[in-house]
């Protein structure tokens, strides 16, 4: 596939070339079509490793937990890719919390690879690019991928659709926050992590969560686990990872496992079709005089946008 003298990026990535990996991730992030061939080439060899999402409000300790999880996994001889979906606010343009913990880069350890991605402007949506980046990391040979996202809006969706195990991180005395998160929380969480358990109130928080968790098991029969951690003591990190492994095993053995995979991939295909059709229609609206006229009619309020959209479909259902 590659020209003579140009190393095949898929092969370079599989051989452990980190610069090739970083370049490929940048291409994915910016929606550069150069990444298409690579993603096509690596797809067959993906879908086997745990993709573990950590989500939750800002400041609960997700990055601190990832640093310790990485150390724990490295001690077990596992290699780890980490993706942080950066919570940079489009308004402030900077970090929201002054005391944000940085993910440790661990220079000199080739068994770890960190990458942060901007949550805005990611072409094709953050879920799609996170999924593609996770695939590249798997193709690069990492045993586990950890994804940090802030629990809000579209980024939550990214975690739901991309991660094989989802950890929702909370802290004691998050009363109101838990209430507002509650509705969507149990759809997302495979594991609840009550972090900062060195602070008072951790037991109460755990009990409240256990009560909520007992209200409804997930449709697949998995009952969310609750693990108390502290990154300052530190404590609970091996237990947190054990809970992840238990969920991974449960999913692998669950009877609906393949149906769930099928459902996700179907969604991905539909999403891609949507992108392709949208791009094509947008281009045609600009280029074709008859279609420009259609838009003119909408602007003049002679036609409504729904009807115009239906006329643009290749095979209209009218
Ligand atoms: N007391 C206590 N503070 C913690 C713990 N874990 C993290 N923190 C602090 O919480 C703040 C936010 O941590 P960070 O990892 O950046 O949270 P993130 O925004 O969820 O990634 C930092 O000041 C951390 O030092 C913990 O277990 N106990
Ligand atoms: Mg963080």
The C-alpha R_g of the chain, in whole angstroms, comes to 22
Residue 147 lies in a domain: yes
* pLDDT tier for residue 98 given thresholds of 50, 70 and 90: low
Same domain, 171 and 284: no
Residue 298 lies in a domain: yes
Centre of ligand 1 to C-alpha 198, Å, is 11
Q: Where are the alpha helices (DSSP H) in the chain?
A: 9-14, 18-29, 34-42, 62-75, 126-139, 153-162, 175-188, 202-215, 237-253, 257-287, 289-299, 305-312
Segment of 75-84, 148-157, 172-181 carrying the highest mean pLDDT: 75-84
- What tokens were used for 290? 């008859």
CATH code at 229?
3.40.50.300
- What tokens were used for 119? 């949550």
End-to-end CA distance of the chain: 43
* pLDDT tier for residue 227 given thresholds of 50, 70 and 90: very high
Segment of 18-22, 58-62, 169-173 carrying the highest mean pLDDT: 18-22
Q: Which of 205, 220, 254 is the last residue of a domain?
A: 254
Residue 7 lies in a domain: no
Residue 84 lies in a domain: yes
Residue with CA nearest ligand 1 atom 3:
196
Q: How far is CA 93 from CA 87, 88, 266, in A?
A: 10, 6, 35
> Residue 233 CA: which ligand 1 atom is closest?
27
Centre of ligand 1 to C-alpha 60, Å, is 5
* Residue 190 scores a pLDDT above 70: yes
Residue with CA nearest ligand 1 atom 19:
59
Higher pLDDT, 29 or 317: 29
- What tokens were used for 195? 């972090």
Residue 6 lies in a domain: no
Where in the sequence is the domain holding 278, given as residue range(s)?
Answer: 263-312
Q: Which of 207, 236, 254 is the last residue of a domain?
A: 254
Count of structural domains within the chain: 2
Same domain, 108 and 63: yes
pLDDT of residue 91: 47
Q: What are 299-311's pLDDT values in tens digits?
A: 999 999 999 999 9
Instruction: Return mean pLDDT, the chain.
Output: 85
Pocket of ligand 1 (CB under 6 A): 58-64, 99-101, 195-196, 198-199, 230-232
Residue 207 lies in a domain: yes
* Residue 153 scores a pLDDT above 60: no
Cβ–Cβ < 8 Å for 119, 155: yes
* pLDDT tier for residue 208 given thresholds of 50, 70 and 90: confident
Q: What are 141-151's pLDDT values in tens digits?
A: 999 999 998 76
> Residue 229 CA: which ligand 1 atom is closest?
27
Residue 317 lies in a domain: no
- Mutating to test ligand 1, I would choose from 64, 70, 177 the residue with most ligand atoms within 8 A of its C-beta, which is 64
Cβ–Cβ < 8 Å for 113, 21: yes
246 contact partners, CB below 8 Å, separation of at least 6: 225
Residue 173 lies in a domain: yes
Q: How far is CA 86 from CA 4, 37, 100, in A?
A: 38, 26, 12
Strand order in the sheet with 112-118: 112-118, 80-86, 144-150, 51-56, 165-170, 191-194, 225-228
* pLDDT tier for residue 22 given thresholds of 50, 70 and 90: very high
What is the pTM (predicted TM-score) of this model? Answer: 0.87
Same domain, 33 and 94: yes
Contacts 24+ apart (CB under 8 A), 104-110: 104/67, 104/70, 106/70, 109/74, 110/16, 110/18
- Mutating to test ligand 1, I would choose from 53, 59, 61, 98 the residue with most ligand atoms within 8 A of its C-beta, which is 61
């Amino acid at each position: 596939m590659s020209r003579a003298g140009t190393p095949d990026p898929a092969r370079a990535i599989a051989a452990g070339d980190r610069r090739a990996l970083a370049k490929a991730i940048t291409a994915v992030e910016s929606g550069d079509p150069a990444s298409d061939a690579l993603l096509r080439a690596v797809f067959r060899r993906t879908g086997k490793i745990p993709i573990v999402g950590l989500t939750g409000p800002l400041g609960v300790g997700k990055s601190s937990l990832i640093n310790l999880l990485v150390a724990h996994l490295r001690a077990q001889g596992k290699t780890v890719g980490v993706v942080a979906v950066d919570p940079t606010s489009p308004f402030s343009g900077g970090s929201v919390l002054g005391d944000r913990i940085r993910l440790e880069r661990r220079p000199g350890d080739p068994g770890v690879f960190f990458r942060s991605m901007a949550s805005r402007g990611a072409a094709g949506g953050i879920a799609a690019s996170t999924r593609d980046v996770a695939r590249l990391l798997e193709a690069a040979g990492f045993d586990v991928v950890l994804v940090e996202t802030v629990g809000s809006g579209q980024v939550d969706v990214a975690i739901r659709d991309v991660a094989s195990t989802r950890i929702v991180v909370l802290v004691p005395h998050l009363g109101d926050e838990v209430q507002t998160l509650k509705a969507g929380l149990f759809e997302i969480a495979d594991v609840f992590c009550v972090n900062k358990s060195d602070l008072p109130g951790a037991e109460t928080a755990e009990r409240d969560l256990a009560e909520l968790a007992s209200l409804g098991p997930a449709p697949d029969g998995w009952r969310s686990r609750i693990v108390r951690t502290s990154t300052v003591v530190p404590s609970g990190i091996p237990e947190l990872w054990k809970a992840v492994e238990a969920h991974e095993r449960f999913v692998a053995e669950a009877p609906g496992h393949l149906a769930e995979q099928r459902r996700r991939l179907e969604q991905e295909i539909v999403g891609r079709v949507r992108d392709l059709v949208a791009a094509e229609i947008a281009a045609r609206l600009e280029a074709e005089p008859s279609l420009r006229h259609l838009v003119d009619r909408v602007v003049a309020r002679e036609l409504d946008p729904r009807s115009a959209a239906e006329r643009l479909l290749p095979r209209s259902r009218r």
